[in-house]
């Protein structure tokens, strides 16, 4: 059997999204956040028909911290019997200086499936936080702990196999969130090609950490990703 051409990695992504509280189509007395526009300006992320109503990014807020192992085992078990495809990852949401442990859910086909999926997690021993007073909403910094399946297109440059139009490139050092935000704004200000969305993170590899940047564009190709990489590298290496 020939080896797989793909590379599997575990790591983190740090990004900012505007979240809102989901009030309907969830289990009673639970707290769910939604990112209705996870990539601002990219309306065709899931479909050429943006009027299709389906959840994009959901965050099931947890009663307590559960380990990556606990969330992964629960998700693995649920996939054996749940009626729809979905993707899930553990994470942390910080909104207005309040921190919430979450399960980030993607690729769910219908809002009506949300309470069913919540019930499955509860059957697996995962408890959810009750909705707080008011309706928390606004910009949030989100850290996702996830597994990546990658195809290396150039040394240190990868395309995501499971997430369309997501590319990654490694960087030589750790960047703080503020520094990353600042250089991203400068790059976009001087960028003449179609816009992109960026997040920062790292892969665990060879018993160490490799820092990287994730780029999203709906018409991603290697030339485009290499051009973005060049702009970041010029600023990082100053």
The predicted-structure confidence for 66-104, as pLDDT tens digits, reads as follows 999 999 999 999 999 998 899 999 999 998 888 999 999
Judge whether residue 41 has pLDDT over 60.
no
SS3 238: coil
The predicted-structure confidence for 185-209, as pLDDT tens digits, reads as follows 999 998 988 899 999 999 999 999 9
Terminal Cα-to-Cα distance of the chain (whole angstroms):
46
Q: How is residue 171 written in tokens?
A: 């960087």
- Stretch 121-140: mean pLDDT: 88
- Angle CA 91–93–99, to nearest 5: 115
Distance, in Å, from the CA atom of 126 to the CA atom of 4, rounded to the nearest integer, reads 34
pTM: 0.88
Query: What pLDDT score was predicted for residue 192?
Result: 87
- Contact indicator for 60, 118 with CB cutoff of 8 Å: yes
Q: Of 95, 46, 91, which Cα lies nearest the Cα of 201?
A: 91
Q: Of 145, 209, 148, which Cα lies nearest the Cα of 175?
A: 209
- Stretch 29-48: mean pLDDT: 68
- Stretch 127-136: mean pLDDT: 84
- Contact indicator for 142, 16 with CB cutoff of 8 Å: yes
SS (H, E, C) 90-112: EEEEEECCEEEEEEEEECCCCHH
The predicted-structure confidence for 21-34, as pLDDT tens digits, reads as follows 998 889 999 999 99
Q: How is residue 220 written in tokens?
A: 């991603």
Angstrom distances, CA of residue 191 to CA of 55, 195, 206, 213, 230: 31, 8, 34, 17, 12
Query: What pLDDT score was predicted for residue 40?
Result: 55
Q: How is residue 205 written in tokens?
A: 């590899």
- Contact indicator for 143, 92 with CB cutoff of 8 Å: yes
Query: What pLDDT score was predicted for residue 194?
Result: 86
Query: What pLDDT score was predicted for residue 46?
Result: 46
The residues, any chain, with a CB within 8 Å of residue 236's CB and separated by 6 or more, are 171, 172, 173, 175, 183
């Amino acid at each position: 059997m020939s080896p797989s051409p793909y590379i599997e990695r575990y790591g983190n992504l740090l990004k900012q999204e505007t979240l809102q509280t989901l009030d309907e189509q969830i289990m009673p007395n639970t707290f769910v956040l939604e990112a209705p526009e996870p990539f601002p300006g990219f309306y065709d992320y899931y479909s050429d028909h943006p009027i299709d109503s389906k959840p994009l990014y959901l965050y099931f807020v947890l009663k307590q911290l559960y380990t990556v192992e606990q969330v992964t085992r629960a998700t693995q078990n649920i996939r054996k019997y749940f009626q729809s495809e979905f993707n899930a990852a553990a994470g942390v949401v910080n909104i207005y200086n309040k921190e919430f442990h979450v399960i980030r859910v993607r690729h769910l086909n219908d809002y009506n499936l949300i309470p069913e999926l919540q019930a499955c997690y509860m059957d697996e021993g995962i408890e959810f936080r009750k909705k707080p007073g008011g309706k928390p909403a606004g910009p949030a910094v989100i850290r996702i702990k996830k597994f990546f399946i990658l195809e290396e297109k150039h040394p240190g440059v990868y395309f995501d196999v499971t997430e369309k139009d997501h590319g990654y490139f490694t960087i030589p050092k750790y960047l703080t969130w503020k520094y990353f935000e600042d250089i991203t704004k400068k790059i976009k200000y001087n960028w003449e090609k179609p816009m992109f969305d960026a997040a920062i993170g790292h892969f665990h590899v060879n018993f160490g950490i490799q820092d990287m940047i994730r780029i999203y564009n709906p018409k991603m190709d290697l030339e485009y990703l290499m051009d973005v990489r060049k702009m970041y590298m010029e600023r990082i290496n100053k």
